[in-house]
Amino acid sequence: MPVDRFSVTMNPELGAAVREAAQRAGMSVSGWLAAAAAAKVRNALLGAALDAWDAEDGPLTDEELDAAREELGLPRRRPREQVA
């Protein structure tokens, strides 16, 4: 499989946390960072898709969001508290 190599610099505390997280996941640091980068890219693409949806069709209604949560088995959101 072809790979794209990077050199990554981060502060020592973050580096240690990454190494520990990779070890807990049973992954190499490289594999863990690749998975984290892929998740970040997916989230960015989802955000762009939702922005395009909002621009074309308007924002999702509370009812649509509640239906999506129910379909995904997520807890219902709590009503926002009134700020005085």
Mean pLDDT of the chain: 91
- With beta carbons less than 8 A apart as the criterion, state whether 29 and 18 touch: yes
Longest Cα–Cα distance of the chain, Å, equals 58
60 within some domain? yes
- pLDDT confidence band for 40 (50 / 70 / 90): very high
- pLDDT confidence band for 82 (50 / 70 / 90): low
Number of independent structural domains in the chain: 1
- The tally of CA atoms less than 13 A away on the side-chain side of residue 28 is 3
**Model pLDDT, residue 73:** 94
24 within some domain? yes
**Model pLDDT, residue 77:** 75
37 within some domain? yes
| Residue at token pair 């009503």 | 79
Distance, CA of 17 to CA of 36 (rounded, Å): 13
Q: What is the pLDDT of residues 2-34, one digit of tens each?
A: 999 999 999 999 999 999 999 999 999 999 999
6 within some domain? no
